Amino acid sequence: MTIRESILEICGVKEVFEVPQTLMTKLFSPEQSDLLARIAIIYGDRQLDQFRDFFQEEGADRKKLKQDYTPDGVAELLARVSRSGKSLADICAGTGSLTIQYLNHHPDVEFVRCEEFSARVIPFLLINLAIRKIDAEVIHGDSLTREHFNVYAIRDGVIRQIDSPTDRKVDVVISNPPYSMAWTPISDERFDRYGLAPKTKADFAFLLHGFHQLEEDGAMSLILPHGVLFRGNSEGTIRQQLLEHGVIDSIIGLAPNLFLNTGIPVAILLLRKGRSQKDVFFVDAKDEFTKGKAQNSLDVEHIKKIAAVVSLRMTTERFSYLADWEELVENGFNLNIPRYVDTFIPEEVQPLGVILRELIEIDKEIAETEREFARLFGQLVATDPTEQEELENDQQLLSKYVDKPSLSELIKEESEQLTLW
Map residue 244 onto helix, strand or coil: helix
Beta strands 87-91; 136-142: pairing state: unpaired
pLDDT tens digit string along 355-404?
Answer: 778 888 888 888 888 788 878 877 888 888 888 888 788 878 877 777 76
* CA pair distance 364, 152, nearest whole angstrom: 82
Which domain, by its residues, includes 308?
51-57+64-339
HSE on the CB side for 237, CA within 13 Å?
10
pLDDT tens digit string along 84-101?
Answer: 999 999 999 999 999 999
More confident residue, 134 or 354: 134
8 inside domain: no
* CA pair distance 177, 186, nearest whole angstrom: 18
Residue 58 has pLDDT above 80, yes or no: no
- Same structural domain for residues 265 and 210? yes
pLDDT for the residue 407: 60
54-58, 132-136, 162-166, 287-291, range with the lowest pLDDT: 54-58
Residue 257 has pLDDT above 60, yes or no: yes
Mean pLDDT (the chain, rounded): 90
Looking at the DSSP bridge assignments, the partners of residue 290 are 297
Work out the average pLDDT over 397-416.
Answer: 66
Beta-carbon contacts of 90 under 8 Å, excluding residues fewer than 6 positions away, are 96, 98, 99, 102, 112, 113, 114, 115, 173, 174, 175
pLDDT for the residue 129: 97
Residue 202 has pLDDT above 90, yes or no: yes
Number of domains in the chain: 2
pLDDT for the residue 406: 63
Beta-carbon contacts of 223 under 8 Å, excluding residues fewer than 6 positions away, are 70, 74, 78, 175, 176, 177, 266, 267, 268, 269
The H or E element spanning position 128 is helix 122-130
Residue 61 has pLDDT above 60, yes or no: no
How is 280-313 classified by DSSP, letter by letter? EEEEE-TT--B--SSS-B--HHHHHHHHHHHHHT
Cβ(80)–Cβ(86) under 8 Å? no
- Same structural domain for residues 408 and 297? no
Residue 409 has pLDDT above 90, yes or no: no
- Same structural domain for residues 87 and 197? yes
pLDDT for the residue 112: 98
- Same structural domain for residues 315 and 202? yes
First-residue to last-residue Cα distance in the chain: 90
Amino acid at 99: T
305 inside domain: yes
- Same structural domain for residues 331 and 374? no
The H or E element spanning position 151 is strand 147-155
257 inside domain: yes
195 inside domain: yes
pLDDT for the residue 358: 83
pLDDT for the residue 62: 44
pLDDT for the residue 64: 52
Cβ(79)–Cβ(307) under 8 Å? no
CA distances from 96 to 8, 49, 71, 102, 161 (A): 20, 7, 11, 10, 19
Work out the average pLDDT over 57-80.
Answer: 72
Residue 66 has pLDDT above 60, yes or no: no
Cβ(225)–Cβ(179) under 8 Å? yes
pLDDT for the residue 419: 52
- Last residue of one domain, picked from the residues 312, 339, 366: 339
Ramachandran quadrant class, 139 (left: phi over 0; alpha: psi -120 to 50; beta: rest) = beta
Work out the average pLDDT over 340-354.
Answer: 80
- Last residue of one domain, picked from the residues 339, 364, 387: 339
Residue 27 has pLDDT above 90, yes or no: yes
Comparing C-alpha atoms, which of 275, 213, 224 is closest to residue 88?
Answer: 213
pLDDT for the residue 420: 47
Beta strands 147-155; 136-142: pairing state: antiparallel
* CA pair distance 182, 94, nearest whole angstrom: 19
Alpha-carbon Rg for the chain in angstroms: 32
Residue 184 has pLDDT above 50, yes or no: yes
* CA pair distance 125, 209, nearest whole angstrom: 21
Residue 287 has pLDDT above 80, yes or no: yes
pLDDT for the residue 379: 82
More confident residue, 270 or 404: 270
Work out the average pLDDT over 260-282.
Answer: 93
Cβ(201)–Cβ(230) under 8 Å? no
Largest CA distance in the chain: 111
5 inside domain: no
Residue 307 has pLDDT above 80, yes or no: yes
Work out the average pLDDT over 328-353.
Answer: 88
Residue 267 belongs to domain with CATH number:
3.40.50.150
Cβ(195)–Cβ(181) under 8 Å? no
Map residue 355 onto helix, strand or coil: helix
pLDDT for the residue 348: 76
Map residue 236 onto helix, strand or coil: helix
Whole-prediction pTM: 0.82
- Same structural domain for residues 167 and 235? yes
More confident residue, 205 or 388: 205
pLDDT for the residue 221: 99
Q: What is the pLDDT confidence band of residue 413, given thresholds at 50, 70 and 90?
A: low
Ramachandran quadrant class, 76 (left: phi over 0; alpha: psi -120 to 50; beta: rest) = alpha
- Last residue of one domain, picked from the residues 339, 360, 392: 339
